[in-house]
A and B are shown apart, each in its own frame.
Chain A
Amino acid sequence: MSDRVLTVEDLKVSLPVPAGKLRAVQGVSFHVDRGETLCIVGESGCGKTLTALAVMDLLPSKARRLATRLELEGKELSDIGERAIADIRGNRMAMIFQEPMTSLNPAYTIGNQLEEALLRHRRIGRKQARERALYLLDRVGIPSAEIRLKQYPHQLSGGLRQRVMIAMALMCGPALILADEPTTALDVTIQAQILHLLAELQREFAMGLVLITHDLGIVARIATRVAVMYAGQIVETGTAEAIFSAPAHPYTCGLLACIPVPGKTQRGHKLGTIPGMVPSLIGDKHGCRFAGRCPFVIAACGESEVLLEAGGGPGQLVRCIRHTEIAGLTARSPEAVAL
C-alpha cells in the first residue's frame, strides 16, 4: 500500500448561505496512487473544485469540512493544525489553478515566486533554489529561463504563465498534484501542449495527479481513473476505458451524448441533451439527486439514499438502482442510452 498517495473517505463540505446550509460535497470518497491520474469531471456547481480545496485545506473560512479519512502518504490531515498543514501544502502536495494570472502575484518576479516555496520548506540557500527554478523552467519548456526568472507575470503569455504555475507546483517535488481546470483559459493548441507536459512530468516524477475538469475530451486522453460528480456526489467511478465504453449511470451517458465528436457525430444531427436543471443543494436531500432529470426514473429512485455500489465493469462503482440494465444497454452500444 506504499503506493497510495491520497485517501479520501466520506468527505463532506458545507457552506452557510442565507437560505440554510449548502451541502456542496456530500460524502465523497476516492484514492490516488503514485503515477496515477484521477480525473474528477462534472458540470459547474457539482462540488469538484471544493473537493480539491478541501484536500488542500484552502476552503473559504466559513465552510465546514468533515471527513472520516483524509490521508496524504499515510499521514492523516483532517485533525492536524494550521502550521502542520502549512508545512505539507506546497511541499508534499501542490495545486495548479485555472487562471494563472490571478494565482501568480503581480508584484513579485517569477524567480521570487518559484524560489519561495523551496526556501519555505527546505533548508537551502538562494543559490540552490535559483538553480532548481532554472532547471524546472527549462523542464517545463520555457525558453531563455534566465531572463524569465527576472520578469513579472504580466510579461508572460497565458501559456507561459501556466507553465510557470506547473514549475512552481513541482519545486519541492510533491507526491500529489491537484490541478483545477488547468487549461480552461487557454487556446486548444496550448491546452494540448500543457496537458502533454503535465502527463509527461507526472510519469517522470511518479506523482499522483488529481485533475479537475468539465471537458470529457481531456478526461478520456489523460485519466487512469475517472470520478463523475453530480450535485455533490460521485455518481460513477471506474477506469477511463470503462466509463467511456460502457457507462452505467444515466448522467454519464447523458454527458457523453452532449458532445459532438469529429468523425462520429453526423453534421446537422441532433446532439443529446440533459433536460431540466441541477437540484438545489440547500438542506437535506433524499433519494437519487439525478431523478428529476433522468429518463430511467422509477418510483423507487426517490425513496431512499442510493449508494455507490459495484456495477458495470470490474472496479467500476455506480450510484444508480438500475445500473445493471443501463450497463447492459451501453455495453452493446454506448449510443443506445441517448437521453
Chain B
Amino acid sequence: MSALTTSKAVYTGPIVEARRIVRSFSVSRGLFKRARTLRAVDGVNLSIRPGEVVALVGESGSGKTTLARMLLGLLPPSSGEIRIGGQASATLARRQIAALVQPVFQDPYSSLNPRKSIGSIIALPLRAQQDEEPATWRSRVEEMMDRVGLARRLYDNFPSQLSGGQRQRVAIARALINQPRLVICDEPTSALDVSVQSQILNLLEDLRRDMGLTYLLISHNLAVVEHMATRVAVMYLGRIVEEAETAALFHAPKHPYSQALLQSVLTPEPGLGVPDTQLGAAYPDPLAIPSGCRFHPRCVRVMPRCRTEVPPPVGMSTAMVECHLYDTPFQPKAPA
C-alpha cells in the first residue's frame, strides 16, 4: 500500500495513458459457423492529465464502454498498453488500479447491491482496500455523505428506499471515498429526469473543483458534454476519429461524423426544426467494419480513396482527426 501512496503523491504525468489498445471479442454465430471477431476497440490512443474532464462521445457500439472497462482494469486489452499513474496496468493488481480509478455507472438501480445498507455500500472500497483505520470508517462515510448531499440519517437505509437521484449520489460517494485520481462516469445522468440530472451534474462539477478530481465522462448527451468537458474524443466503430478541446470541437468540428453528431443535438430553440443529418439508413455494425475509412458508407463527403485507404491520424498535440479531407493541410502527428 505504502509504495502506491508515494507514487500517487510524486507522479505528475498523465493519470491514464492508453497506447494503441485493441480489444476484440469472439462472437458465436451458432453451432456450425465459425465464430467471428468483433473488434470493439481498435487501436485507441488516449491520455488523460490531472484536472481534465475528457468526454468520450459516440453511438452505441462505438466501443466507449469497452474502453472504459479496460481503463478500470476490468478487462485486459487484447493488445497495446495501458499505463495508470505511470505504471503499466498489466503489472498492477486489481486492487491497486481500483485505488486510482473508480467508476460511476449509468443505472443507479442496478449498480447498488439491494441487500446492503447505504453506509456499507459507501464503505465497501475502504474494506476492499483493507484500510488501516476501521474505527474511522463510519465518520468518513458520513462526511462523504454530507459532501454528496445525502442526509446522514440514510446511513442504515437500503437502496430501494432511495430515489434515483439519491442512489446516484450513493454511487458517487462510493467512488470518491478512497480519493481516487480518476473517476470514470459512464452515462451518469442518462437514467434520470431532467431536474435530477442538473442536480447531479452540479454535484459532479462541485466535487471536481473541491477535491481536485479528474473525470472521464462517457455520454451521448452532447449538451452535457459541452457543459462539463475540457476535451472531447469522438469514437466511431472502435476508433477515436477526432479529438479536440471542447470549445474548438463544438465551434468547428472537423470530421464529418463529428459534424453530424453536433447537428443532431436538438437545442431547445423553437422554429429551427429537426435537422437532416444526411447520414442515410446504413448503421454501424462492429461485426462488419467497412474497409478504408470506417465511416465512409454514411459519409456525405465520401471520396474514392475513402473506400480503400485507412485515413491516418493528422493534427497537432491538442487536436487530432482521422479523415482524408485533412490529409494534406495538416502536419502529421509525431509518431508514437
Partner-B contacts on A (CB < 8 A): 43-44, 141-143, 157-160, 163, 187-193, 195-196, 199, 214-223, 240-241, 243-245, 254-265, 267-268, 270-274, 277
Given contacts A220-B269, A262-B250, contact A274 B274 (CB under 8 A): no
The CA of A43 and the CA of B266, in the complex, are separated in Å by 18
**Cβ distance B277 to chain A, nearest Cβ, rounded Å:** 5
Q: Does B227 sit within 8 A of A, measured CB to CB?
A: yes
Partner-A contacts on B (CB < 8 A): 59-60, 163, 193-195, 197-199, 201-202, 205, 220-224, 226-228, 246, 250, 260-261, 263-277, 279, 281-283, 285
The CA of A245 and the CA of B271, in the complex, are separated in Å by 11
Are the C-beta atoms of B201 and A192 separated by less than 8 Å?
no
Contact partner, B198, options A143, A268, A273, Cβ 8 Å: A273
The CA of A199 and the CA of B272, in the complex, are separated in Å by 13
Are the C-beta atoms of B226 and A262 separated by less than 8 Å?
yes
Are the C-beta atoms of A221 and B281 separated by less than 8 Å?
no
Are the C-beta atoms of A199 and B274 separated by less than 8 Å?
yes
The CA of A245 and the CA of B270, in the complex, are separated in Å by 9
User: Chain B interface secondary structure, helix, strand, loop or mixed?
Assistant: loop
Are the C-beta atoms of B264 and A189 separated by less than 8 Å?
yes
Are the C-beta atoms of A219 and B268 separated by less than 8 Å?
yes
Give the most central of B194, B224, B267, B273: most A CB within 10 Å: B194
The CA of A265 and the CA of B275, in the complex, are separated in Å by 21
- Chosen A-B contacts, 20 in total, with CB atoms closer than 8 Å, are A43-B193, A43-B195, A159-B283, A163-B281, A188-B222, A193-B281, A195-B266, A196-B276, A217-B265, A217-B267, A218-B266, A221-B274, A222-B273, A241-B271, A258-B198, A260-B226, A260-B227, A262-B226, A265-B227, A271-B227
Are the C-beta atoms of B264 and A220 separated by less than 8 Å?
no
- Least CB separation from B269: chain A residue: A220
Given contacts A141-B281, A163-B281, A193-B279, contact A221 B223 (CB under 8 A): no
Are the C-beta atoms of A216 and B194 separated by less than 8 Å?
yes
- Least CB separation from A260: chain B residue: B227
Q: Which residues of A contact B279 (CB under 8 A)?
A: 189, 193
**Cβ distance B29 to chain A, nearest Cβ, rounded Å:** 13
Q: Which residues of B contact A264 (CB under 8 A)?
A: 267
The CA of A216 and the CA of B265, in the complex, are separated in Å by 12
Q: Which residues of A contact B276 (CB under 8 A)?
A: 196
Are the C-beta atoms of A260 and B224 separated by less than 8 Å?
yes
Are the C-beta atoms of A214 and B193 separated by less than 8 Å?
yes
Are the C-beta atoms of B195 and A262 separated by less than 8 Å?
no
The CA of A199 and the CA of B274, in the complex, are separated in Å by 8
Given contacts A192-B266, A217-B267, A271-B227, contact A255 B283 (CB under 8 A): no
**Cβ distance A225 to chain B, nearest Cβ, rounded Å:** 11
Are the C-beta atoms of B266 and A255 separated by less than 8 Å?
no
The CA of A21 and the CA of B227, in the complex, are separated in Å by 42
Are the C-beta atoms of A261 and B268 separated by less than 8 Å?
yes
Q: Which residues of B contact A189 (CB under 8 A)?
A: 59, 260-261, 264, 277, 279
Contact partner, A267, options B246, B261, B268, B270, Cβ 8 Å: B246
Are the C-beta atoms of A262 and B59 separated by less than 8 Å?
no
A-B complex: 4 closest residue pairs judged by Cβ atoms: A217-B266, A260-B227, A192-B264, A271-B198
Q: A187-B60, A221-B272 are in contact. List 11 more A-B contacts (CB 8 A).
A: A160-B283, A190-B59, A191-B266, A192-B274, A196-B276, A217-B223, A218-B266, A219-B268, A220-B266, A261-B223, A268-B227
**Cβ distance B214 to chain A, nearest Cβ, rounded Å:** 15
- Least CB separation from A271: chain B residue: B198
- Least CB separation from A242: chain B residue: B270
**Cβ distance B194 to chain A, nearest Cβ, rounded Å:** 5
The CA of A160 and the CA of B60, in the complex, are separated in Å by 14
Q: Which residues of A contact B228 (CB under 8 A)?
A: 267
- Least CB separation from A42: chain B residue: B193
**Cβ distance B161 to chain A, nearest Cβ, rounded Å:** 13
Are the C-beta atoms of B194 and A192 separated by less than 8 Å?
no
Given contacts A157-B283, A223-B270, A273-B199, contact A214 B277 (CB under 8 A): no
Are the C-beta atoms of B275 and A220 separated by less than 8 Å?
no
Q: Which residues of B contact A141 (CB under 8 A)?
A: 281
The CA of A222 and the CA of B34, in the complex, are separated in Å by 47
Are the C-beta atoms of A270 and B274 separated by less than 8 Å?
no
Q: Which residues of A contact B275 (CB under 8 A)?
A: 192, 196
Q: Which residues of B contact A270 (CB under 8 A)?
A: 202, 205
The CA of A268 and the CA of B206, in the complex, are separated in Å by 9
- Least CB separation from A293: chain B residue: B195
Q: Which residues of A contact B266 (CB under 8 A)?
A: 191-192, 195, 215, 217-218, 220-221
The CA of A258 and the CA of B193, in the complex, are separated in Å by 10
**Cβ distance A171 to chain B, nearest Cβ, rounded Å:** 20
The CA of A199 and the CA of B273, in the complex, are separated in Å by 9
Are the C-beta atoms of A256 and B268 separated by less than 8 Å?
yes
Are the C-beta atoms of B270 and A188 separated by less than 8 Å?
no
Are the C-beta atoms of B193 and A44 separated by less than 8 Å?
yes
Are the C-beta atoms of B270 and A262 separated by less than 8 Å?
no
The CA of A159 and the CA of B285, in the complex, are separated in Å by 12
Q: Which residues of B contact A44 (CB under 8 A)?
A: 193
Are the C-beta atoms of B281 and A271 separated by less than 8 Å?
no
Q: Which residues of A contact B220 (CB under 8 A)?
A: 187-188
**Cβ distance A258 to chain B, nearest Cβ, rounded Å:** 4
The CA of A271 and the CA of B267, in the complex, are separated in Å by 15
Contact partner, B270, options A158, A190, A241, A255, Cβ 8 Å: A241
Q: Which residues of A contact B195 (CB under 8 A)?
A: 43, 254-255, 258, 273-274
